[in-house]
Amino acid sequence: MTRSDHDHDHDDHDESDACESCPHDDGGESVSPSIFTAAWRSLPRRRYAQALATVGGLTAVGSLAAPVASLTEVFEQEYTGPIYSEGVHLVDGDGNRVTTEALDYGEGMTVYPATHPGIAKAPTVLVRYEESEYGGETRMDSVVEGYAAYSKVCTHAGCMVGGEDENPLVCPCHFGKYDPTQGAAVVGGPPPRPLPQLPITQTENGELIAIGDFEAPVGAGGE
């Protein structure tokens, strides 16, 4: 069966719209995203599937209709912290406190401040590597038992980075890449600066807690 010209035109449109997810004004300039902007709602199906596979390690996507909050929501560009502070526990998506037993070396996960659980407030990437693997701009006084924590909000356009179990971490919007063993330094793509590191330590019973807020501005637009 010969494909119609309409189908070819649609494919061409898909290929040219790699960045429909980015907030822009009518003149084509980037604008500040607001929290919970469904930035990928209009993303072509092909691009959506690629991003899901990249971030989640998915090998098949059965349905693209279900919402995927961790990918589609764009964080508020102007961070209204501090949200983390000394003694605030890190918790998982279910609100459970995260301990030093949570990850093996080379693994990662998304965590939140116990005072504001969920993607709405200060989503954070927690990774674990041998301390000898860290270098560059990593704040070693903010690393404990091999754990380092960084803002999950890309410094380019405010999307959520993913691939916590991988190095580098990857933002699905424009494929910015960050090396978590080098202070989340930018190693690819358009981000202008590293992901801010969160200073952490552990309690007597091995629970991970913050000892302050992020050490640099969160998200896009900061210096």
Could you give phi then psi for residue 203, rounded to 5 degrees?
Answer: -85, 180
Query: Which two tokens mark 143?
Result: 């690393």
Q: Which is more confidently placed, 202 or 74?
A: 202
Phi, psi of 128 (to 5 degrees): -135, 125
Query: One-letter amino acid identity for 221?
Result: G
The HSE-up count of residue 206 (CA atoms within 13 Å, CB side) is 7
CB 173 within 8 A of CB 19: yes
Whether 97 shows a pLDDT value over 60: the answer reads: yes
pTM: 0.67
In angstroms, the CA 23 to CA 38 distance is 10
The structural domains of the chain, ordered by start, are 5-74 (no CATH), 90-210 (2.102.10.10)
Q: Which residues pair with 99 in a beta bridge?
A: 207
- With 80 as the cut, is the pLDDT of residue 107 above it? yes
Q: What is the model's pLDDT at position 139?
A: 95
More confident residue, 142 or 9: 142
Q: What is the pLDDT of residues 162-220, one digit of tens each?
A: 888 889 999 999 889 999 999 999 999 999 999 999 999 999 999 999 999 998 888 88
* pLDDT value at residue 212: 94
List of E strands, 51-164: 73-74, 90-91, 108-113, 124-128, 147-151
Count other Cβ atoms within 10 Å, centred on residue 109: 17
Q: How far apart are CA 161 and CA 145, in angstroms?
A: 23
Give residue-wise pLDDT tens across range 13-63: 444 444 444 444 445 554 433 333 333 333 444 444 444 444 444 333 333
Alpha helices for the chain (secondary structure H): 5-16, 45-56, 69-72
How far apart are the C-alpha atoms of 206 and 138, rounded to whole Å?
Answer: 22
Express each pLDDT in 108-131 by its tens digit.
999 999 988 777 678 999 999 999
* More confident of the two residues 41 and 93: 93
In this predicted model, what pLDDT tens digit does every residue of 143-163 receive, in sequence order? 999 999 999 999 998 889 988
Q: At which residue do the structure tokens 């179990």 appear?
A: 165
| pLDDT value of position 161 | 92
